[in-house]
Amino acid sequence: MSKKVRVLLVGASFSADLHADAYSRCTDLAEIVAICDKATERIPALAERYGFTGYQAYDDFEKAIDEVDCDVVDVCMPNFLHKAVALKAFEKGRHVISEKPLATTIEDAEEMVAAAEKAGKQLFYAEDWLFAPALNKALSIVKEGGIGEQKYIRARECHNGSHSPFAQTIKFCGGGAMTHLGVHPVCFMLALKDFKWTELTAMTSGGLDKNLIHDKMEGEDWGVVVIKFADGTVATLESNYVTVGGMEDVIDIYGTTGCMHVDLTFSSAINCFSETGLSYTVEKADVKTGWSRPAVDEKFNLGYVGEIRHFMECARDNKEARVGLRGKDGLEALRVINLAYQSSREGRAIKNENLK
């Protein structure tokens, strides 16, 4: 492999912007050699925003993967396309980064993991929470015994509804808020506890006319799952599309001698009042006038910069990513979310029969 990891970025919209910002901060490791998006007009705007030059532009991912000499294909496409792009990349002997969720079905996710193994390449699963500086600081406090023995964690990702038209249909998204948002707290907790969960129980709003607000959305607009782990820790993990005012990424950690509250999105040293309104405050903010706490470096604080740097180092050295960031971890997170859906439908707790 060349000194820098050569990246083909597939997608030039929302999630691609998050990754592109991170690539622009690790130019010592990575080089964007091509960008692909069906809407080609998005490509030069993305490239200009982050200073990418000398790249090739494509409007078809299969053609791009066939022609571009790269080391990594970064899949920043709608959920239902993750598998097709990944399988094509593995056929060409490339490493793959996949945004969350890994796929829309367990079967598709299993196929992606198997294809990576067959090709002898890495499948990286993009769970940015694992690199959020505030969250990692909180975990270091737990590790040093600052709040005693960890007993209960409550974590949630919530906002007012996805901007993507694909999020309205289960076929394209894989589920509702639990799949699209809850995958973050679910994968974070599974990685934190080495995937050793023992029992879960869940409730969801149910989709369509059963939803709390979004009655045209096939998937649920509210969901919560309670998971018990082998070490005795209990976690409540929530996701919803009914939260207005901006995205909430909040983690509460309770121990025997203390507790912590971690806010990944609204934590800011700035407190601003504006009559005319700001251009940007935080992701999914409905109103930008009045008092707000504008994010200082949102993408960094949510973990994207550290995540992409880690993937580039792993791709350069052809080694597995850390726990929680491997394809098999994304697969397990999807399994747990599907079991949460089963628990909600059947109104019962589900035990982990595979835990030995």
Q: Does the pLDDT value for residue 269 go beyond 80?
A: yes
| Whether the domain at 5-128+304-323 and the domain at 130-303+334-351 fall into the same CATH topology | no
Residue 21 is predicted with a pLDDT of 98
Position 1 scores a pLDDT of: 53
Q: Which pLDDT score, from 0 to 100, does residue 3 have?
A: 84
Query: How many CB atoms within 10 Å of residue 88?
Result: 19
Domain spanning 130-303+334-351, CATH class? alpha beta
Residue at token pair 């109103």: 287
Mean pLDDT, residues 147-168: 93
Do the beta carbons of residue 30 and residue 7 sit within 8 Å?
yes
Per-residue pLDDT for 111 more than 60? yes
| DSSP secondary structure code for residue 219 in this structure | S
What pLDDT is stored for residue 2 in this prediction? Answer: 56
Q: Which pLDDT score, from 0 to 100, does residue 354 have?
A: 85
For 51-77, what is each residue's pLDDT tens digit?
999 999 999 999 999 999 999 999 999
Q: What is the mean pLDDT of residues 16-34?
A: 98
pLDDT at 162 over 60: yes
What is each CA distance from 246 to 104, 159, 185, 240, 280, in whole angstroms? Answer: 26, 6, 18, 12, 11
CATH superfamily of this structure's domain 5-128+304-323: NAD(P)-binding Rossmann-like Domain (3.40.50.720)
Residue 190 to residue 329: CA distance in whole angstroms: 8
Q: In the chain, what are the domain boundaries?
A: 5-128+304-323, 130-303+334-351
Which pLDDT belongs to residue 184? Answer: 98
For residues 106-127, average pLDDT: 98
